[in-house]
Structure 1
Amino acid sequence: MAKRTGEKYEAIIDAAIRVIAEYGYHQAQVSKIAREAKVADGTIYLYFENKDDVLISLFNEKMGAFITDVETTLADGTSAVDQLRELIRLHFEYLEGNRQLAIVTQIELRQSNPEVRKQIGLILKKYLNVIDQVIQRGIAQGVFHDEFDPRTARHMIFGTIDETVTTWIMKDCKYSLTDQVEPIARLFLRGIGR
């Protein structure tokens, strides 16, 4: 298998996003992805075992880059309240900036097989750890209540962000996702803030 770097690899990942967003995961044949990437069908198999591997790699690449950006942005030591707001903003901004990726991550990934979902879950765990760190920082700073279960808070935060993006997609992206940052941040802060 070829090294998972380089122009062709990136072209295949980007083509997969476009094809899966347009046709849906189950109708996104490898041949369509290859055609969109302007490579031979066999080239895809130099980098990926199968279509599921393309989907997992796509999520790993895009979500991995997003998580790195979030960690870098939140590393400046600002208050947990500001970090929570920034996390929401980054999430919404990232997906609003790439609607096809939003469709793939919010709609199509959920229709994949159990093995794909398991691999996606392992990648997503890194993001949930970032949310945990913000919650723990807020408790340590005394700005978040310490009487609630941090896992419940994490589920509440991620679930709300996730559902907000899904609803935005289902409504054909007719409004600004980033305009939702402040209302959602206020909602969280009323629930977990002191």
Structure 2
Amino acid sequence: MRCPHTDALRVKCQAVLDVTEGMIDQQGLISFKLSQVAKEAEIANSTFYKLFESKEDLLVCCFLRNATANHFDDFEALHPGLTAVERVLLPIVFTFEATYFSPSFNLVRQVAVNSRVWRLASADKAKAFEQRINLYWERISDYLKQAVNEGELVASQDEVRELAQAITFYLSGALSAYECRLIGKEFLQEKRQTLFRQLQNVFKPYGWREPLTLAQFERVGVRVHMYYQANRRDFNSCSRCMAMQAKHDG
């Protein structure tokens, strides 16, 4: 099922996804019904099913429009002087900020990547989802390779691949631990410092010219936060998601 091809349908698609994310925040992933989504988005059921075939389609599209990979090129254009290490930090910090500005994103992210979910989405949406996930991994790998080329990191191809995996696994664990709201406060240190210190541990086994500093981590964090603030009305738009897909397909 393809993305909407007219402005009118794009507006309706955006409304449906806004309502869906609101319901996920309020009711969780299990309780909300497609008929309720259509009603609150004020569109006919027939129009709804022109846009989405299933709940899996909704979840995949909620992920796609919030995907951090939609923003890296625009952010780099705004900040052309980023260092190699700062570029490596981009996917990490963007993921943290995406879950801050769209609280349902972490839950959607965890569920949508399950193959029993995204494989049940319509073929076009499943394909776009797979492409966007791999684009994220590709970007992390490319930033690490740039760090190698610029002399900031000494690493073999296998070590670059391993570090890309370590960064992604770190993100999954960190977000799950803090966002689940299950773990008692006595077991968790202050979030910002803990995230940085654990990321330092991810970086340490590899041959960085200089160790990762808190100042670098916070500098990128502030810039990404300000970027999201400035683009708050647009950061999770269907138009931005479709533009990224068109760029990838082109």
Whether TM exceeds 0.5 here: the answer is yes
Paired residue for 1:171?
A: 181
3-state SS in 1 of match to 2:82: coil
Q: Is the 8 A contact 1:85 1:185 kept in 2?
A: no
Match of 2:164 among 125, 147, 154: 154
1:91-110 superposed matches below 5 A: 91-107=95-111, 109-110=113-114
By how many angstroms is 1:151 displaced?
1.6
Q: Which moved more, 1:5-14 or 1:141-150?
A: 141-150
2:197 to 183, 186, 189: 183
C-alpha deviation, 1:55, in angstroms: 2.2
CA deviation vs aligned residue, 1:102-147 (integer Å, no higher than 9, x gap): 2222246538436148643332111111101111011111222213
Q: CA–CA distance in 1 between the matches of 2:182 and 2:204?
A: 30
CA distance in structure 1 between the aligned counterparts of 2:56 and 2:162, rounded to whole angstroms: 31
Residue 73 (structure 2) pairs with residue 71 (structure 1): yes
Segment of structure 1 superposing worse, 133-142 or 23-32: 23-32
Counterpart CA distance in 1 for 2:47 and 2:25 is 21
The number of equivalent residue pairs is 192
Percentage of pairs with the same residue? 18
- Return closer, same or farther for 1:102/1:26 CA change in 2, 3 Å cut-off: same
Give the TM-score normalised by the residue count of structure 1.
0.80
User: C-alpha separation between the residues in 2 aligned to 1:80 and 1:141?
Assistant: 7
TM-score, normalized by length of structure 2? 0.64
Q: Structure 1 residues 141-150 or 7-16, which shifts more?
A: 141-150
Which whole-Å deviations, capped at 9, do the CAs of 1:6-49 have from their partners, x for residues lacking one?
32110111122222344444443211221332323332112123
Q: CA RMSD in A?
A: 3.0
Unaligned runs of 5+ in 2: 210-250
Question: Cα gap change, 1:60/1:108 in structure 2, threshold over 3 Å: closer, same or farther?
Answer: closer
**Contact 1:11–1:37 under 8 Å retained in 2:** yes
- AA paired with 2:88? L
Which consecutive residues of structure 1, in runs of 5 or more, have no partner in the other structure? Answer: none
Alignment match, 1:49 = 53
CA apart distance, 1:179: 5.4
